[in-house]
Amino acid sequence: MDRLSRKIIRLTRVDSTQRVAFELAERGAADGTVVVADTQTAGRGRRGRVWQDEPGDSLLTSVIVRSQLRVVDLPKLSLAAALAVAEAIEATTGLRARLKWPNDVLVNGRKLAGILLESRIVAEPVVVAGIGINLRQRSFPEELAQTATSVGLEAGRAVGRDELLEAVLAAFDRWRTRLERDGFAPLRERWLALADTIGRAVTVGEHAGVAVDLAADGALVLQEAQGVRHVVAGEVLGSEHG
């Protein structure tokens, strides 16, 4: 989708751009419609967590995706979104962004962006890819102080929110189209090239092992003491090199 035909809805303050995007989708909003907000009062994170922000500090956006992918392949869009964010950060700031399975974006080992992919069946499947990027934060609440970072902290300069949004949307379109046209292999290859998780000792839920690969279905392949295990989306904890 080109820049001019994309509809972007800009809001000042909203509970969650995800909620707004689903509401718009129910009312028939087109594929590729984007919602952006300056601040969210009930931002949603993965696994039921909250995603907090101070007004104007973050890029908070949700993209409506009406995809031709099979329902079973829709979760791969979250890997596409993470990759798009990593590429957009690198293109606009020169920072080396890395991917933590399933879909966190890290810079210098700290989380700079998160993705929340949600889907609903509204006559047909609708996916909303929610993207939160830390832009201008100078510090974080105590519980995030050791693990989070922002573009401003890492790049040492401000990066325009719209410039980054434009780059994210263009990269997401590219990877989504590639996934729909060519299957998962090219996305998997690129994801692995930017992966931070591979080669590290990790814990996903109750499973612990060394992350060794990304499977053809998007699962993380763990080498455990007893053998190889494929894990579907969960939380990756721990990050020592294996």
Binding site for ligand BTN (CB under 6 A): 16-18, 40, 43-46, 49, 51, 60-62, 104, 114-116, 130-132
CA 131 to chain centre: 5
CB of 214 to ligand BTN, least distance (A): 18
* Beta carbon nearer to ligand BTN, 186 or 238: 238
Q: Which helix (H) or strand (E) holds 43?
A: none
* Beta carbon nearer to ligand BTN, 17 or 197: 17
Report whether 60 contacts 39 (CB < 8 A).
yes
Both structure tokens of 214: 């990304």
* Beta carbon nearer to ligand BTN, 44 or 200: 44
- List residues bridging with 40 in a β-sheet: 14
* Beta carbon nearer to ligand BTN, 132 or 209: 132
Between the two ends of the chain, the Cα-to-Cα distance in Å is 41
29 Cβ contact partners less than 8 Å away, ≥ 6 residues apart? 7, 21, 64
CB of 68 to ligand BTN, least distance (A): 24
CB of 21 to ligand BTN, least distance (A): 8
CB of 114 to ligand BTN, least distance (A): 2
* Beta carbon nearer to ligand BTN, 185 or 237: 237
Q: Which helix (H) or strand (E) holds 208?
A: strand 207-214
CB of 213 to ligand BTN, least distance (A): 23
Q: Which helix (H) or strand (E) holds 225?
A: none
Q: In the complex, which residue's CB is closest to ligand BTN? A: 114
